[in-house]
Structure 1
């Protein structure tokens, strides 16, 4: 439940730490805003507070054109704590309802349509299809404000199969026609540049150094302020570069894709890789109760994501019982040998099919580890890999550490405890008594804090 007094203080101070955690509906204008909106604050008796943009829209409010709620960081709290709901929301955000039916989504979730509708109504107050449509419209609004894509391309990138349907849905959800948001014409470009926001603080230096130590040449790149890589999403391929802009509490992301239909899930995935939606104030408040008072907590620490769970699993296997630099060398050789060329002297991460078909003789490691890697790839080809990498331990050679590491970095699961990790063990021996269970559901962040020691 939202605390009205706390929300009032946050909106009057325009505290960026609350950005995306709630939204402000102004009764007199019919508009809803982020708590950091630069407009003159309305009177208290003209304000209503909502836990999400979806809830504000359902109450009849339109998004503000100044603070642009479509650009706010998301708040995982309003999803509820139901595992099935989390998974359903993630699949819808990845476009599960853009082309397929609600029944097909329920088949993937292993539940009935009635139960899924009940979950959405209880936690979000909206149907699954209405949720998907609202998210599509907010993403389209962000593209209209920030990109130079033609409106027809924006409709396609937002998951609409018809320009007419896009225009109708946009008018209903945003209250304006798409063309009215394009006040000045701009030269079109297929490259998309967006600002992706987070709640401060954000420990960019820590994340940058962590990624740099494991960066694979020709697949990834970066410097003091940037991180980028080649990516694939289904049949779409491309690359992105994210530039940290601390004064705007976000990243300027430039993205190139050969199929704009994959743009929406790809942007959601970039947010996950950079862990932009973490509420670090909430997380660190719990970690401070778990760790000793003298522990040098890294404020704003984020989970360093990997593009797919499969890639994270491959990196975990190649990192078994070797140093970080040795693991990086193994992954580099794998990408050089089996990665698809990108046309700009780069490489994509190898597909499961290419790894499964190779004898991997170029990897200098025990044959058992090569067999493990090929077994993982073959399971992916056969669609035998569970969505949760923690279930991969049934595969020969995949132990708890490898499965947990793949879950932490490949799905950004917030509650992974790598208690068997050597770095974690060393940190614990220096700290004395620490009860990891007290950090639930944020044990992934506890693991990373211990790695930083």
Structure 2
């Protein structure tokens, strides 16, 4: 979008927050860059230039605006809606792969040479993988500076910098303030949170509108005891992260999601935030989604009644795949019971002083050797589950943020016991494919019949061609016609 100068200028002049994260405005006369909705008086069009990423602005020598804080914009919805190499690379960078494995590690995961990856990302983002990772480190550093009491030297290494000197130079260059000045500025702010040891409180921005009912309703209704819970108006769960673990509490608020993270290692902050954003689908573009779905006269009343529905995601794709198998042909309550037994038997215990979380969900490696006879499941489903965890543990099935959606579907279809419903629900919620579709799902078929849509899977799929590429969101609107706990915000 940043190449459409006229459209970008209109968005800046109208302070349209829907475009935050789509592009960034650099002001030639001041040397700063802003989000489109920056509250200051818009500069003259001839003084504006536009970039596709904050990293590109920083690489061109611009510093972040202190008023609109463009580093806190929602992420671009493109990376979650696309499955090409650049989109997969952006999801990996967001998951901290460049910080942990370098650009060669990023390239190896995608099956390209380092040079090819740098060229593709640079052509589209205006900056290479290292610059994008550097911008992400700067944002993480700012969060740690402003929301924790960590000594600044510890902040530097927790944010991923190799030295305190590089940390100081980057923060000054990006924010035009030294780390100590950022902390002092935050302390003077009336809105600044009071740091608690090991706990980080922040806001997760999103593009409006957002209807939280099905999003939090689904997470609360399917919560696995010990791993997830609904407490004091927030969805809470445990997270397994590269350097340790965490607990997180997420609560819907006007204009943002309140997030409270308790990390065992602050180096995991960026990854934890990105996983929470994927869980709640916070980088979606609800205006574009709802506009397409409103074009169908049958869906229009559903969209108008509750615009901004999101697709509930997951913080761990392998965990969700296991839970999808446990939930085959059983009720929500039964699926929770099966998952809870698995967690108690194979999950890692943790302490949660703030609630009732007790375990991390077991990873595939911990489940690969489980005894099928110990599972209270039909024999065929035992085979399905054990085959799945073996494929996840040995790497023959990849469900990471870098996965090719169609390739993952093909591998899943080849496993015993994986029909279209299980494959597509994993594609929708674990892989994040916005066009995943469940025409054979009982709730979808029931809603289709009530609305006068074709009820058979083939006919409904043909009708749904007009909903593409947002069929996963159409499923949310169809499911919401049923009076089920997953469709209501918990009380």
Alignment of 1:26-425 (within 5 A): 26-77=27-78, 81=82, 83-183=84-184, 189-223=197-231, 225-246=233-254, 249-290=255-296, 292=298, 295-297=301-303, 298-344=306-352, 346-361=358-373, 363-387=375-399, 388=403, 389-390=408-409, 391-425=411-445
- Is the contact made by 1:30 and 1:60 (CA closer than 8 Å) also made in structure 2? yes
> Structure 1: which 5+ runs fail to align?
none
Could you say which residue in structure 2 is the equivalent of 1:448?
476
Shift of 1:410: 1.5
Deviates more, 1:146-155 or 1:211-220: 146-155
Kept in 1, the 8 Å contact 2:228–2:237? The answer is yes
Contact 1:38 1:67 in 2 (8 A): yes
Q: Quote the Cα distance in structure 2 between the aligned partners of 1:209 and 1:45.
A: 48
The CA deviation at 1:19 is 2.7
- Alpha-carbon distance in structure 1 between the residues aligned to 2:124 and 2:80: 7
TM-score normalised by structure 1 residue count: 0.91
Q: Does the 8 Å contact 2:252/2:258 carry over to 1?
A: yes
In the alignment, the residues of structure 2 paired with residue 172 and residue 401 of structure 1 have an alpha-carbon distance, to the nearest angstrom, of 50
Cα deviation, 1:236-255, whole Å, max 9, x if unaligned, reads: 11211112221xx1112111
* Cα distance per residue 1:355-410 (max 9 Å; x no partner): 22222555432022122212212222222222344232222222332122122112
- Indicate the residue corresponding to 1:17 in structure 2: 18
Alpha carbons 2:80, 2:283 under 8 Å: kept = no
Q: Is contact 1:226-1:243 (8 Å) kept?
A: yes
Residue 40 of structure 1, CA deviation: 3.8
Mean CA deviation greater in 418-427 or 190-199: 418-427
Task: Tell me which residue corresponds to 2:465.
Answer: 437
Distance 1:78 1:448 in 2: 21
Deviating more after overlay: 317-326 vs 15-24: 15-24
Aligned residues: 451
Tell me, yes or no, if the aligned pair for 1:79 and 1:86 is still in contact at 8 Å: yes
* RMSD of equivalent CA atoms: 2.5
Are the structure 2 counterparts of residues 152 and 291 from structure 1 closer, same or farther at C-alpha, using a change threshold of 3 Å? Answer: farther
RCO higher in structure (CA 8 A, sep ≥6): 2
Structure 2 SS opposite 1:333: helix
Give the deviation of 1:167 after TM superposition: 2.1
Preserved CA contact (<8 Å) 1:52 1:78: no
Q: Please identify, of 367-376 and 134-143, the stretch whose mean Cα deviation from structure 2 is larger.
A: 134-143
Task: Assess, with a 3 A threshold, how the Cα gap between structure 1 residues 154 and 400 changes in structure 2: closer, same or farther.
Answer: farther
Task: Determine the C-alpha separation between the residues in 2 that align with 1:82 and 1:323.
Answer: 32
TM-score, scaled to structure 2: 0.85
SS in 2 for 1:448: helix
The one-character-per-residue Cα deviations of 1:101-131 (angstroms, maximum 9, x if unpaired) are 3223212111122221221122112222122
Shift in alpha-carbon separation, 1:80–1:378, aligned structure 2, 3 A: closer
Consecutive unaligned residues of structure 2, counting only runs of 5 or more, are 188-193, 455-459, 482-491
Deviation at 1:20, TM superposition (A): 2.4
1:419–1:425: 8 Å Cα contact kept in structure 2?
A: yes
Q: Deviations over 1:243-269 (max 9, x none)?
A: 2221xx111211112122222112111
Would you say the 8 A contact 2:392–2:398 is kept in 1? no
Q: Give the match's secondary structure for 1:398.
A: coil
CA shift, 1:436, in A, is 2.0
- Contact 1:273-1:412 within 8 A present in 2 as well: no
Using the TM superposition, name which of 136-145 and 309-318 deviates more.
Answer: 136-145
For residues 293 and 333 of structure 1, what CA distance do their matches in structure 2 show? 39
Q: 1:408 to 1:80 in 2, by over 3 A?
A: closer
Cα pair distance change 1:89/1:212, threshold 3 Å: same
**CA offsets, 1:123-164, max 9 Å, x none?**
112222122212222332233334433322322232223222
Distance in 1 (alpha carbons) for counterparts of 2:250 and 2:350: 19
Deviation of 1:78 (Å): 7.5
Paired position in structure 1 for 2:190: none
